[in-house]
Chains A and B, each alone.
Chain A
Amino acid sequence: MIEFFRKLFAPTNSSQTAKERLRLVLMTDHLSLAPDMIEQMKRDFIDVIAKYVEVDRDKIEINFEQQDKALAMLANVPILAVNRNGGGGDGGKKREEPATVEAAAATGSTGSTATPALPRRRRRKKSAPPAVAPSNASPAPAG
């Protein structure tokens, strides 16, 4: 009974929908408005991945698309080889000094030690809103 009345009187809260849609569309707008920032982020992202696995930099694709209620960053990173020293499940947690050097070494020894090019892996990462903070959001003026 109460449910019936709730349905009868419940206002369709379209302002909530408007808010959600705006939040998403503005994130997308800001991404396309800040190509420099995005390029830098992609480079940094690839560098981080490359610390642990050998990647095919030329074939990496990073895109943004809208998924339900969030903006998702979709990265398609072909992995050529897994770095034995830095790779693996807990590899990321090991803070070895010469991590980049290791990665470079692995590149050199692809033939013997590395597993053949793995099938492409799809990494999904929900972008936290602050990560794509609007580039044009002006800080409140001091005065």
Chain B
Amino acid sequence: MHEVQPEPVPVAEKAKRGRAIVITSGKGGVGKTTTTANLGHALAARGCSVALIDADVGLRNLDIVLGLESRVKHNLLDVLDGTVELDDAIVRDKHNASLVLLAAAQTREKDEVDTEKMKALVERMREHYDYVIIDCPAGIEGGFKNAVVGADEAIVVCTPEVSAVRDVDRVVGLLGNKFRPQLIVNRLRPALVKKGKMLSVEDVNAILRLPLLGVIADEPEIIVTTNRGEPIALRKDGATAAAYHAIAAKIAGEDVAAPTVEIKETGFFGRLGAMFGGAK
């Protein structure tokens, strides 16, 4: 059950400088944590060493989405406080040993995080991992600032909803150009887009005007995989898993197209409606 791979995560290896990417959105509930978990797995599957940091202090969730909740003994704040060594606080993934998690503290508060220490920690982790991915809390207050402070790239997750788009717009404004934010459109429902009942990817990005990393469909299986704590990117087949792997390839600098979600033909009544000119 536990596929233990050779230890690729070097602690002694020096002179590495991995990339620090923050996953953010402003609005809550758009799928930041799910995105972080799946991109972590997809990048690790490429043979990269990946550290995920749950920066949502007080509302720890990345551990349960990854299925690692029972292994977490220490957390981010223990490391920042200096009471626990980083190596003792990180939790190695069950499926891929090159993926590790630094969990958030559950019983502490966001404003207990020292911004400078957070920055230094991310900097230190970059020396050991190819990717340090930070799962940002919702909001634009202190928790957001601490999550972005150590990052130098940002991925913004946006669902095709007016509230999410507005919040991403605000967050992108706060981030500025330094982070070169890239967009993942999450939870797209092609049938609704087809009927003109949901903003399309083009609609969203006509407003946000960000480089598109990819589109993830609103896939019921994601709920199932989250229930089990086995992110969908672990699967060998399926469009959604493939989309996460394509996004990871794009992040890694491969010249691949951003994965999209096909807008399928609607059912009989939809076609009939279109026939009578109702499509507009």
**A positions within 8 Å CB-CB of B:** 2, 5-6, 8-16, 18-19, 21-23, 25-26, 29-30, 33, 134-141, 143
Contacts and interface: CB of A to CB of B under 8 A. Distances in A.
Nearest to B209: A137
Contact of B165 (A6, A22, A134, A138): A22
B273 to A, nearest CB: 3
B173 A33 contact: yes
Contact of B269 (A9, A19, A30): A9
Contacts of B181: 138
B202 to A, nearest CB: 10
Q: Which 8 A-B pairs have the closest CB atoms?
A: A136-B173, A9-B273, A10-B278, A13-B196, A141-B180, A5-B276, A9-B278, A11-B195
A5 B176 CA distance: 50
B196 A2 contact: no
Interface residues of B, number: 35
Contacts of B173: 30, 33, 134-136
Interface of B: 161-162, 165-166, 169-170, 172-174, 176-177, 180-181, 193, 195-200, 203, 206-207, 209-211, 269-270, 272-273, 276-280
A141 B193 contact: no
A6 B257 CA distance: 38
A23 B278 contact: no
B196 A11 contact: yes
B196 A16 contact: yes
A10 to B, nearest CB: 4
B177 A138 contact: yes
Given A10-B273, A26-B169, 4 more contacts: A6-B278, A15-B198, A25-B166, A136-B176
